[in-house]
A = this chain, B = another copy of it.
Amino acid sequence: MTSKIRIGIAGYGNLGRGVQSAIAKNPDMELVGVYTRRDPGTLDLAQPAPRFAMDELEQHAGGIDVLILCGGSRSDLPEQGPKFAALFNTVDSFDTHARIPEYFQSVDAPAKAAGKTALISVGWDPGMFSINRVFGEALLPDGQTYTFWGRGLSQGHSDAIRRVPGVAAGVQYTIPSQEAIDRVRAGQRPSLSTREKHQRECFVVLEDGADAQAVREAIVGMEHYFDQYDTTVEFIDEQTLAAEHSNMPHGGFVIRSGNTSDEQKQVIEYSLALGSNPEFTSSVLVAYARAAYRMNQSGITGAQTVYDVAPGLLSPKSPAQLRAELL
């Protein structure tokens, strides 16, 4: 019997919870520990599992095949990514697109030095959508790629809102423009600005005594996250947030519209309709943990992205089985 891939979870928010749920659906993997910066004893796990303090990770390096980093991109991962890549094979969902090159560099050196594999920016965007943008360009070089998101709650953007001083809680919805979508689907290859494609809607619960206007300005002007969009901020109370905004649906699509000759038009579309964004992202992280483990076993070390992962590495099936059953 082949031994299972031993997974550790670093950070237990929505993503960590989703990873735990996803591991249970992959019989070739086992969860060996959930690591938290909180008091481990107080951690309310969805299913029973060993709980540890984040500080204990270093001592457990020999017992974990892949550590899945479930922290946020703004403060957690820039610190944890390089640190843990020196000790473990890692997978993370670093999703600040503009900072991926510097994050890649920061993780690559320690991972290479330690002979570890660090798969960064895994999920659906960056992740599956990124793969489909490359597929689109490569398969239809004479064409145009469009990515639309939503309508959905964005984890990264909601996280960003919650880090603004004066914000007690909040969520952000991304809304694609139907008019823009219709033009792209019709093969018009329109030029669309970031602002023309989506709006962003924020629902925010203020801390007692917070300055609403200052909070609004901090959100709408936030670099990379909101400054290039038309953003609305609505202040609500905690009860309304819990009642109307506790689900985390998302989705969107990547469309490549192109020509293979003057006469022939081709359209490729990849779309996701997600009941839960964090659970889907977590499920992707777990599949890529399998790939990270295999890549490390075959001597591929350092920082890697979804562009470096052959699709077959994601599947528990053997290459021969994949060729016979799914090709």
- A interface residue numbers (CB < 8 A to B): 18, 21-22, 25-26, 97, 100-101, 104, 121, 126, 128, 130-131, 133-135, 137-142, 260-261, 263-276, 279-280, 282-284, 287, 290, 305-312, 314-317, 319-320, 322-324, 326-327
With A271-B269, A272-B268 known as contacts, the answer to whether A307 contacts B283 (CB < 8 A) is no
Min CB distance, A278 to chain B, in Å?
9
Partner of A131, one of B26, B141, B263, B311: B311
With A266-B274, A323-B104, A326-B130 known as contacts, the answer to whether A260 contacts B135 (CB < 8 A) is no
Q: Does B315 lie within 8 Å of A138, measured CB to CB?
A: yes
Q: Does A311 lie within 8 Å of B319, measured CB to CB?
A: no
Q: How far is the CA of A137 from the CA of B138 in the complex (A)?
A: 24
Stoichiometry, as copies per complex, reads 2
Min CB distance, A15 to chain B, in Å?
12
With A128-B135, A134-B315, A135-B128 known as contacts, the answer to whether A276 contacts B305 (CB < 8 A) is no
Q: Does B311 lie within 8 Å of A306, measured CB to CB?
A: yes
Partner of A326, one of B137, B268, B272, B287: B137
Min CB distance, A153 to chain B, in Å?
13
Partner of A264, one of B135, B263, B276: B276
Partner of A100, one of B310, B312, B316, B327: B327
Q: How far is the CA of A324 from the CA of B134 in the complex (A)?
A: 12
Q: Does B266 lie within 8 Å of A275, measured CB to CB?
A: yes
Q: Does A134 lie within 8 Å of B312, measured CB to CB?
A: yes
Partner of A322, one of B25, B134, B274: B134
With A263-B275, A276-B261 known as contacts, the answer to whether A307 contacts B282 (CB < 8 A) is no
Q: How far is the CA of A260 from the CA of B19 in the complex (A)?
A: 10
Q: Which 9 A-B pairs have the closest CB atoms?
A: A307-B312, A138-B314, A260-B279, A264-B276, A264-B275, A138-B287, A267-B273, A265-B275, A133-B326
Partner of A260, one of B21, B140, B312: B21
Q: Does B305 lie within 8 Å of A323, measured CB to CB?
A: yes
With A260-B18, A311-B306 known as contacts, the answer to whether A25 contacts B327 (CB < 8 A) is no
Residue of B at shortest CB range from A22? B260
Partner of A324, one of B100, B135, B263, B271: B100
Q: Does B323 lie within 8 Å of A141, measured CB to CB?
A: no
Contacts of A264 in B (CB 8 A): 275-276, 279
Q: How far is the CA of A305 from the CA of B312 in the complex (A)?
A: 9
Q: Does B276 lie within 8 Å of A260, measured CB to CB?
A: yes
Partner of A283, one of B260, B272, B274, B310: B260
Contacts of A308 in B (CB 8 A): 310, 312, 319
Q: Does A323 lie within 8 Å of B311, measured CB to CB?
A: no
Contacts of A97 in B (CB 8 A): 327
Contacts of A272 in B (CB 8 A): 266-269
Partner of A327, one of B284, B307, B314, B320: B307
With A306-B311, A324-B100 known as contacts, the answer to whether A128 contacts B139 (CB < 8 A) is yes
Residue of B at shortest CB range from A251? B267
Contacts of A326 in B (CB 8 A): 130, 133-134, 137
Contacts of A133 in B (CB 8 A): 326
